[in-house]
């Protein structure tokens, strides 16, 4: 019986430690890729006010879960919510409805999968600048051509990074992004 209890406690501890808190900056202009996340059951999303205007974080009709920050004003204010059910959770700022996004709660994902699915690269195809947004702080990037030759690399600037693509020939490239031990590679077209 002791052995079963120990195994059960270890299992619960490993599940609890696998949960993640995702940070989103919440300000005028926050929407789409900058406000959409895919998380798993038990993950927490923390919205941080990035401007001095009043905002809310409020679920919309059809959301799987109900959450509402109430109106908060001031840079650095935060609202956190832990998602407990799988499904789609559209939300917005009731004061500024153009600020909106969707939190999708999906099946259990590894940290590597969470890293990969919470990165956006746009525009694709890119011409001069490729913008990369991530919920994880990015540390570096490398760009490879289709033959695997490294053609560009640099340090990333936290959660939003711009990669200069202007010097590259038109064609297909692979962008490798790193955050600590996490890495993921994306296919990009340069025009």
* pLDDT tens-digit series, residues 115-170: 887 898 999 999 999 999 887 899 999 999 999 999 999 999 788 999 999 999 99
Dmax over CA atoms of the chain, in Å, equals 66
Q: Which helix (H) or strand (E) holds 142?
A: strand 129-145
17, pLDDT greater than 70: no
Average confidence score pLDDT of the chain:
88
Specify which residues 130 forms β-bridges with: 163
Q: How confident is the model at residue 6 (pLDDT cuts 50, 70, 90)?
A: very low
Q: State residue 14's pLDDT score.
A: 40
Report the pLDDT averaged over residues 19-45: 89
Residues 6 or more apart whose CB falls under 8 angstroms from that of 7 comprise none
Of residues 159 and 49, more confidently modeled: 49
Residue recorded with tokens 């640099």: 154
Residues 6 or more apart whose CB falls under 8 angstroms from that of 182 comprise 111, 112, 115, 136
4, pLDDT greater than 70: no
190, pLDDT greater than 80: yes
User: Lowest mean pLDDT: which of 5-19, 23-37, 130-144?
Assistant: 5-19
Distance CA 153, CA 132 (A): 14
Q: State residue 61's pLDDT score.
A: 96
For position 131, which CATH number holds?
2.60.40.3080
Judge if 184 and 103 occupy the same domain.
Answer: no
Residue recorded with tokens 């956006």: 120
User: Lowest mean pLDDT: which of 35-39, 71-75, 152-156?
Assistant: 35-39
Judge if 42 and 86 occupy the same domain.
Answer: yes
Query: Has residue 131 been placed in a domain?
Result: yes
Judge if 54 and 92 occupy the same domain.
Answer: yes
Structural domain for 57, as ranges? 20-109
Q: State residue 175's pLDDT score.
A: 96
For position 84, which CATH number holds?
2.60.40.420
Q: State residue 50's pLDDT score.
A: 94
| Short-list 116, 120, 126, 131, CA closest to 161 | 131
Q: State residue 104's pLDDT score.
A: 93
Report the pLDDT averaged over residues 47-56: 96
Question: Looking at the 3D structure of the chain, how many domains does it have?
Answer: 2
């Amino acid at each position: 019986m002791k052995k079963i209890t120990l195994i059960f406690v270890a299992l619960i501890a490993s599940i609890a430690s696998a949960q993640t808190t995702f940070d989103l900056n919440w300000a005028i202009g926050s929407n789409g890729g900058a406000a959409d996340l895919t998380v798993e059951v038990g993950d927490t999303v923390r919205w941080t006010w990035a401007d001095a205007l009043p905002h809310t974080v409020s679920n919309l009709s059809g959301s799987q879960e109900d959450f509402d920050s109430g109106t908060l004003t001031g840079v650095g204010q935060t609202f956190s919510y832990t998602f407990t059910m799988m499904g789609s959770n559209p939300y917005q700022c009731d004061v500024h409805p153009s600020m909106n996004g969707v939190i999708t709660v999906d099946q259990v994902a590894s940290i590597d999968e969470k890293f990969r699915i919470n990165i956006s690269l746009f525009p694709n195809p890119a011409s001069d600048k490729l913008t990369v947004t991530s919920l994880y702080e990015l540390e570096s990037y490398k760009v490879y051509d289709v033959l695997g030759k490294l053609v560009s690399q640099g340090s990333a600037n936290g959660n939003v990074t711009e990669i200069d693509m202007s010097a590259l020939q038109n064609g297909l490239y692979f962008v490798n992004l790193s955050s600590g031990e996490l890495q993921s590679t994306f296919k990009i077209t340069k025009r």
